[in-house]
Amino acid sequence: MAPVFLFDFGSPNAWFAHRLIPDIEARTGARFVYRPVLLGGLFKLSGNQAPMIAFAGVPNKLAYERRETERFVARHGLTQFRMNPHFPVNTLMLMRAAVAAELAGLGAQYNEAMFRYMWEEPRKLDDLAVLAATMAEVGLDAEQLLTAAQTPAVKARLAANTQAAHDAGAFGIPSFLFGDELYFGKERLRDVEEALTHQP
């Protein structure tokens, strides 16, 4: 039984999880399954909102969340993190292309590149020209992936992934599924690792 990482590149917390997962895999011998979902769609299904909207009237809450991010960066040495100046980014094409890349056996390469250029060397990845150039730069066939991303099958798969995430109880990103359990947030990776360590 493999743990599942529900992700959308538009979430900085998903980037944190992506960077911590390899160490967890090394310690536990588990391999995470990366499952692209559309965060905006998940918000609509669950009635949730981004923290910057949900807590817009609670400045102390937003300030605290920023401080928690700083602590998380320091705790795990994730100093390559850079807030994307174009945030929030429309990730619809990014996530459809993630599904297309997965189906083409290129998911790991694509995911690594998009996380890198969203949160380490930030680019405006909802600009199709920028996205295509970024794909080409890392050796991916941009035309092939962007064409595939527009097909009904890929669109349907992303929608199905998002619906399945909601049906499993997810309401935000990053979320993790392991067996019948849902874990939300980068901080819950400790719980995921504990579950992996103690599985029969």
Side chain identity at residue 148, one-letter code: A
pLDDT level of residue 56 (50, 70, 90 thresholds) = confident
What's the structural domain count of the chain?
Answer: 1
pLDDT digit string, tens, across residues 12-34: 999 999 999 999 999 999 999 99
- C-alpha 200/C-alpha 197 separation (Å) is 9
Structural domain range at position 123: 4-197
* Average pLDDT of the residues in 60-77: 90
Token code pair at residue 199: 């599985």
* CATH code of the domain covering residue 128: 3.40.30.10
- C-alpha 9/C-alpha 14 separation (Å) is 7
Assign 81 to helix, strand or coil.
coil
Has residue 130 got a pLDDT over 70? yes
Strands ordered across the beta sheet of 175-178: 33-36, 4-7, 175-178, 181-184
The half-sphere exposure of 184 on its side-chain side, counting CA atoms within 13 A, is 8
